[in-house]
Structure 1
Amino acid sequence: MTHSQLPDELPTGLQDALERHDLTSAQRWLDEQPPHLVADELARMDTVDAVVAFRLLSKDKAITVFEELEPVDQQGILMGLRDSAFGEVVSGLEPDDRVRMLREAPAKVVQRVLAGLGPRERGVTAALLGYPEGSVGRYMTPETVPLNQQLTVEQALQRVRARGEGAETVYTLPVVDSGRRLTGVVELKELVLSPPERTVADLVVTQAPRAQATDPAESAARLMRETNVLDLPVVDSEDRLVGLLTIDDAVEVIEAADTEDVARQSGSSPWTGHYMAASVWQLARYRIVWLLLLLLAATLTVGVTQFFEGTLEQVTQLAMFIPLLIGTGGNAGAQAATSAVRALAVGEVRTSDLFAVIWRECRVGLVLGVLLALLGLVLGVFFVGADIAVVVGLTLIVICSWAATVGGTMPLLAKRLGIDPAVVSAPMVTTLVDATGLIIYFLMAHLVLNLH
């Protein structure tokens, strides 16, 4: 679910009712609220209270609410249910939703879930879990209504009515040949609006986008966004239909990928679960590793300052502008890195564009540096005089050009090396630019002021 679309203030009362052991009031609250608000409230609670509240839901609403929860919250609730209720929940889930829950579940949860399924559901779930982690096969629904292109529109609609109830979606209907190889798709709207005697072959779109089951799920989801389709056919290596990636699952894939990128760009480890349900120690644990690494990397700046200690002793006024320069360089590098990570994620930039990006970002940084240098000259003349003002102005030009170039190219280099581009984005770029920016500053001071 998209928590950003929740209202600023949720109706209160559920937690209070549970604390008073007033199950009647709690059930009334649960009945009155829509599933997505109930799911958000359950995610905020500890596991015991969440299980108690979940068991008060009606069977149909319980399934809907469960599907809205994040996998970590689903697993916590499942482990608190009795076998009968446990079986009702896991068997009521769509296969792709069931696999979503099990992707990072402990082995004992996976075993209990599979044991609670019938032979058919167990086989479908095991088949989806057999695809590589992060592949579109893990996210697709295998429950589709394939059509043969020789069918008439009337026959096709009869097939949809007969098998549509067991399918997750019927808006996009894959068209296959006798060997179940995908030949195209037809939209339900086209069938409904076409004369009964026309054939599916007359309506099929043969150039529709598709993905292989082993393709990265994020790539498939972004393909859906680029091509504006509601469902994406998924095929195996021999082009046989194996399922559909639906728009709701594609949105979740993109949201998860963007959330991970934001976390890494801010210097934190990505994590799942509700922010309000996490303890202080959990939040600290996800952040401390990166802070320690960045702290160690920042010792480069200290080392550079010590190396040029003699320069600072000769012209102490240079120290006044160190925070301004390294802050500006770090910000320029972070801006370029964020733009590059975003462009890579949406497919606007490829690793083959490395040299084009270097040339572009170098010029962008030069323009920014010149504009900022004009302000730097004014400030420098006002505070310390013309000589140091020139040093500051020239340094701003070089630092901004260098920072933008580094920030724009490091994510592409990381991508080429198989590293997540977000990992080497803003925090790492900022730390690197801080250290190198000081070197540029002191070398510029030696050059302009003729220091020894």
Structure 2
Amino acid sequence: MVSVGDSDLEATTRLSKRALRAQALIELTEMLAPLRAPQVIAVLERLSERDRAVVYRLLPKDLAVEVFEGLGPALQSGLVRGLGDEDVAQIFARLGPDDRVSLLDELPATVATRLLQGLSQGERGSTAAVLGYPAGSIGRRMSPRYVAVHAEMSVAVALDRVRSRIEDAETVYTVPVIDDDRRLVGVMSLRDLMRAEPDHARVDQLMRPPYSVLASSDAEAAARRCADLKLLALLVVDEEELLVGILTVDDALRILEDAESEDQARIAGSEPLRRPYLSTPVHAIVRSRLVWLLVLAIGATLTVQVLEVFEATISQMVVLSVFIPLLIGTGGNTGNQAATTITRALALDDVTPRDFRRVPVREAWTGMSLGLVLGTAGFALAALFYDPSVGAVIGLTLLAICTLAATVGGLMPLAAKTVCADPAVFSNPFITTFVDATGLIIYFLIAKAVLSL
């Protein structure tokens, strides 16, 4: 998305807030006039919900609709609460069916029902068609507004059809080809149509095999396919190969961006924020992090219990406690690296649950190699400053912990994917807790064996 520079954005936001406090609405309108939609969106994302509604009301009608479409569903929902019913109804009617569904998912049922009832019969039907697909499916994110041509049409007739639908269609650059039963049989680009002889060529002579995806398919997987194939639009069909919608590349990239944000948040041990950071209330940020911190704090009690079990071992050789942060930190970092790599590989389809045997073996070898390097360094340093026997304990522990952590880190995302859970949830926070406890057990067992404690 195009945006203003950081300094211009800060200045515009600051002046907007000052004008709002002074009730200088004419000055604020003049300030907003030269801005384009992406720039206005960047400013709105930094305002409070009340100020956002005031600024939005000052925008010209066409710009207001474009700005509303560019906001995330959570911000749209907040803006709806600050606008009058008539304003909301007009904006809602001008949204595409897929954008309407995203907004409806954020609104209370009573508000959603009222907005749907205010639509024309045709718009209500197209929106209901998208709403009928399960949450998380690409059918819920596709647009039913497309221009399809029949295989037996001449190029001239097909071009006339595209021109007649150019204002309503989501895109005209990708033109699906269907048969008399509306089954998808091919696809062509607008360039193909415009380059052909209008009166002497038929659509079936120009079309090529289509790329399509089932409407019930996972939205992220469909968006990933659209991006991987570098398509301007991916066609969406039902179980009978009937064309039901289209996924444009901008919508695909938005889906992937949302999925990436969610994965990164959960890998870090929090829930994703559903709106820009500066427009998210502090209590919502606290709520997104608190549950995970409580879960991890409970998990950390395993580490405390392990230390209690080996308290006698530590008391016999206090120096062992010095290396605990090093060992559990190294194990956690190694496991996190492996989990992040495999989670990303799963998202890109480089790895699938069918690789359940290959991935742990590769990660075990990787962890062992890392453990040999780190263990050798640990042995040398511990032997130099303490004792060769202590160095042997540290070196062997690093070798064992790195091997275990990498193996578990590679295995957990695959296990999550197998049971249809989010791989990111099983990654860094839980792996760190698991490796901390098991790493300490390994450490003290090796210490007892090598030092005869």
Q: Shorter-chain TM-score category?
A: over 0.9
Question: Is residue 75 of structure 2 the alignment partner of residue 77 of structure 1?
Answer: no
In structure 2, which of residues 296, 299, 302 is the aligned counterpart of residue 297 of structure 1?
Answer: 299
What is the number of equivalent residue pairs in this alignment? 448
| Separation of aligned partners in 1, 2:156 and 2:128 | 36
Q: Partner amino acid for 2:6? A: D
| Separation of aligned partners in 1, 2:132 and 2:27 | 44
Cα distance, 1:385–1:350 mapped onto 2, change above 3 Å? same
Q: Among the aligned pairs, what percent are the same residue?
A: 47
Query: Secondary structure of 1:440's partner?
Result: helix
The residue aligned with 1:287 is 289
Q: Which moved more, 1:419-428 or 1:109-118?
A: 109-118
- Contact preservation (8 Å) 1:75, 1:109: no
| Separation of aligned partners in 1, 2:274 and 2:226 | 24
Query: Secondary structure of 2:93's partner?
Result: helix
Structure 1 residue 84: Cα displacement = 2.4
Structure 1 residue 270: Cα displacement = 2.1
Query: Secondary structure of 1:317's partner?
Result: helix
In structure 2, which of residues 5, 8, 23 is the aligned counterpart of residue 7 of structure 1?
Answer: 5
- Contact preservation (8 Å) 2:273, 2:280: no
Structure 2 portions without partners, runs of 5+ = none
Alignment of 1:39-58 (within 5 A): 39-58=41-60
| Separation of aligned partners in 1, 2:137 and 2:111 | 22
| Separation of aligned partners in 2, 1:331 and 1:66 | 42
The residue aligned with 1:202 is 205
- Contact preservation (8 Å) 1:172, 1:231: yes
Query: Secondary structure of 2:82's partner?
Result: coil
In structure 2, which of residues 344, 347, 355 is the aligned counterpart of residue 345 of structure 1?
Answer: 347
| Separation of aligned partners in 2, 1:401 and 1:33 | 55
> Cα deviation per residue 1:380-419 (whole Å; 9 max; x = unaligned)?
0122111100110111111000000000100101111221
- Contact preservation (8 Å) 2:273, 2:285: no
> Cα deviation per residue 1:315-334 (whole Å; 9 max; x = unaligned)?
11111111100000000000
Structure 1 residue 195: Cα displacement = 2.3
The residue aligned with 2:234 is 232
> Cα deviation per residue 1:100-153 (whole Å; 9 max; x = unaligned)?
211232212212321221111111112211110011111111111101111122
| Separation of aligned partners in 1, 2:101 and 2:409 | 37
| Separation of aligned partners in 1, 2:254 and 2:115 | 22
Structure 1 residue 440: Cα displacement = 0.7
- Contact preservation (8 Å) 1:265, 1:425: yes
In structure 2, which of residues 306, 331, 347 is the aligned counterpart of residue 329 of structure 1?
Answer: 331
In structure 1, which of residues 39, 57, 66 is the aligned counterpart of residue 68 of structure 2?
Answer: 66
Question: Is residue 390 of structure 2 the alignment partner of residue 388 of structure 1?
Answer: yes
Query: Secondary structure of 2:356's partner?
Result: helix
Q: Partner amino acid for 2:370? A: L
The residue aligned with 1:249 is 251
> Cα deviation per residue 1:303-351 (whole Å; 9 max; x = unaligned)?
1011011111111111111110000000000000001111111111100
Question: Is residue 414 of structure 2 the alignment partner of residue 412 of structure 1?
Answer: yes
| Separation of aligned partners in 2, 1:231 and 1:92 | 22
| Separation of aligned partners in 2, 1:434 and 1:109 | 49
Cα distance, 1:6–1:393 mapped onto 2, change above 3 Å? farther
Q: Partner amino acid for 1:142? A: P
The residue aligned with 1:218 is 220
Structure 1 residue 6: Cα displacement = 6.1
In structure 2, which of residues 147, 150, 161 is the aligned counterpart of residue 148 of structure 1?
Answer: 150
The residue aligned with 1:272 is 274
| Separation of aligned partners in 2, 1:417 and 1:431 | 21
- Contact preservation (8 Å) 1:72, 1:273: yes
Q: Partner amino acid for 2:298? A: L
Structure 1 residue 68: Cα displacement = 1.0
The residue aligned with 1:133 is 135
| Separation of aligned partners in 1, 2:44 and 2:366 | 48
Q: Partner amino acid for 1:202? A: Q
- Contact preservation (8 Å) 1:366, 1:398: yes
Structure 1 portions without partners, runs of 5+ = none
| Separation of aligned partners in 2, 1:243 and 1:279 | 36
- Contact preservation (8 Å) 2:77, 2:106: no
Alignment of 1:52-201 (within 5 A): 52-196=54-198, 197-201=200-204
| Separation of aligned partners in 2, 1:79 and 1:8 | 29
Q: Which moved more, 1:293-302 or 1:415-424?
A: 415-424
Q: Pairwise CA RMSD of aligned residues?
A: 1.3
- Contact preservation (8 Å) 1:79, 1:109: no
| Separation of aligned partners in 2, 1:161 and 1:280 | 49
Structure 1 residue 240: Cα displacement = 0.5
Compute the TM-score of the two structures, normalised by the length of structure 1.
Answer: 0.97
Structure 1 residue 200: Cα displacement = 1.1
